[in-house]
Each structure stands twice: as C-alpha cells, then as structure tokens.
Amino acid sequence: MSDEQKRPEEPTIRLGVSTCLLGEEVRYDGGHKLDQFLVNTLGRFVEWVPVCPEVEMGLPTPRESMRLVGDAEAPRLIAPKSGQDYTERMQTWARERLEELAAVQLHGFIFKKNSPSSGLFRVRVYDQKGMPRRVGTGIFPREVMDRLPLLPLEEEGRLHDMRLRENFIERIFVYYRWTRLLQEDPTPGGLVRFHTAHKLTLMAHSPSHYQAMGRLVAQAGSLTWEELVETYGRLLMEGLAVLGTPGKHTNVLQHLMGFLKEALSRRTRPSCWA
Ligand code: SF4
C-alpha cells in the first residue's frame, strides 16, 4: 500500500463505564442494565473499561441494596437492612482503582444513573427521617472527579438527549487530542497550534472561554508550563461543557464564510458575498 493509500491512524478512545450498562449481571438484584445505545452504537467506536465499584470492592451478587444517607456534600453509603456502612471501604478501593485507571489513560466515563455507588447527578440522599432528596453524587464518581478533574463525565440516561450526547462526544474527542498534545508535543508552540485548531469548536460553545484561553496563550512566556497547562486545560473542558446554541453556530459559520470567500473564485461565489 502506498503512503497516499494509508489511512491515518484511528484514535483509540477509551471510556470507563459502569459494568452493568454493558449487560453484565452485577447489580445488587443479580440483574443488569444493558444500554443498547452504548453497546450497539457508541461501542463500535470506543474501547470500554468496565468498572463496578460494589463488586470490585468485594461484595457478592446478589447483595443487599444501598443508599446515600446524611449530608449531600459528604454522604454515607449505607445498606439500610443490615445498617452496614460501606463508605470508607468504597473510598479506599476507589482511590487504588483510580491509580490504575489514570495509568490506562481514559478519555471519558459513563456512569449508571441513580446509583448510590455510581450515579453522577441527582442521586437520592436520605435524611435521618428516611426522606429522600435528589441532590447527591455517588461515592465512586465523587472520587473520579477528585482524581481526574478534567475527564468528561456523563450518565447513560442523559445520553438519550441529543444535545447532551453530541456535547459529550465532542468533549471526549477534544480531551483525547489534549492528552495527545501533552504526551507528544508539550511545548508553547504545540499549545498555540492546539488553540488555533480548536478556535471554531470553542467559539461554538463559549466565546468567553475561547477569549480567556487566547489571553493565557499570549502570556505563555510569563507562566510555568505546569501553570499554563493546568489553567488552559480547566478552561478548555469548562468551555466545551457549555452547550452550543443556534446563535453561536451561526457566528461560527459566518467566520467560516470569511475563509471560504478567500478560497472561492469570484465566478463561483454567491452574489450575496460580493
Ligand atoms: S450501578 Fe455501579 S455498582 Fe451498581 S451494579 Fe452498576 S456498576 Fe455496579
């Protein structure tokens, strides 16, 4: 095969996923929560790294159910039937497991919604009277956010919303390219090229983040590489998490028209561009 015929190397996007979403029977009741979109559609383009906190910390299947109890910011993981408190056991397991996950270089994580161990958003937290409020985050995702703060995170339920799905997929690809930059070209010049290449993507999400990142790149000489990368990476992932709107996309398309105007001859331009 000639060089021209060779296809560029395809990225390996590696996503952590709650194991039960892949159809594995690891839930407390012995069942699973197979998600067809993840397995049959997204699964064709990514490599899964399945994680089941409850089974991996040594609990059997089936097992007693658990819930979050107490302070929403620091809830306890309790099995109400036996009264057993699993909080420290899961935190200790999670910190060790996250060292392994950091080493395999994930590009995102998809969690099972509503789970006290794995749920990311609006997990029920029970007060002392047994009344639930949907205000919590599961014990494992909380540890993931601490250890890998830039990693794109989502829940399987929210991925059925097309805008959230598109946003998540875009974030995992940009995060993939960000980690490649840090490994392969960790220089101010590499950062400038990355910033230029992602201009329109960022503007479609958050022009204010794009501008703040531009100011940061311009000051590159007065910051250490670590300071630059930490602040730029945080702004990058924060900005991309802002959802695009028709207005922002229109603005980006108008920018693109400016580029095309240069490339098209007068004869082939629409008259409104004259
Ligand atoms: S929600 Fe999490 S802890 Fe529960 S079965 Fe699924 S992967 Fe395991």
**pLDDT per residue as tens digits for the range 72-130:** 999 999 999 999 999 999 999 999 999 999 999 999 999 999 999 999 999 999 999 99
**Which of 15, 17, 20, 24 has the most ligand 1 atoms within 8 A of CB, as the residue to mutate?**
20
Amino acid at site 93: W
**Which of 15, 17, 19 has the most ligand 1 atoms within 8 A of CB, as the residue to mutate?**
19
Q: How high is the mean pLDDT of the chain?
A: 93
Question: Which atom of ligand 1 lies closest to the CA of 55?
Answer: 8
Query: Which residues line the pocket of ligand 1, CB cutoff 6 A?
Result: 18-20, 26-27, 52-55, 112, 115, 117-118
Tracing tokens 């960790």 back to the chain, one arrives at 186
% of the chain exceeding 90 in pLDDT: 87
Q: Is the pLDDT of residue 9 over 70?
A: no
CA of 210 relative to ligand 1 center, distance in Å: 37
CB-based contacts of 64, cutoff 8 Å, min separation 6: 28, 79, 81, 82, 84
Range with lowest mean pLDDT among 5-14, 43-52, 216-225, 231-240: 5-14
**Which of 35, 38, 49, 55 has the most ligand 1 atoms within 8 A of CB, as the residue to mutate?**
55
pLDDT at 6: 47
- Distance between CA atoms of residues 147 and 139, nearest Å: 13
- Distance between CA atoms of residues 79 and 73, nearest Å: 19
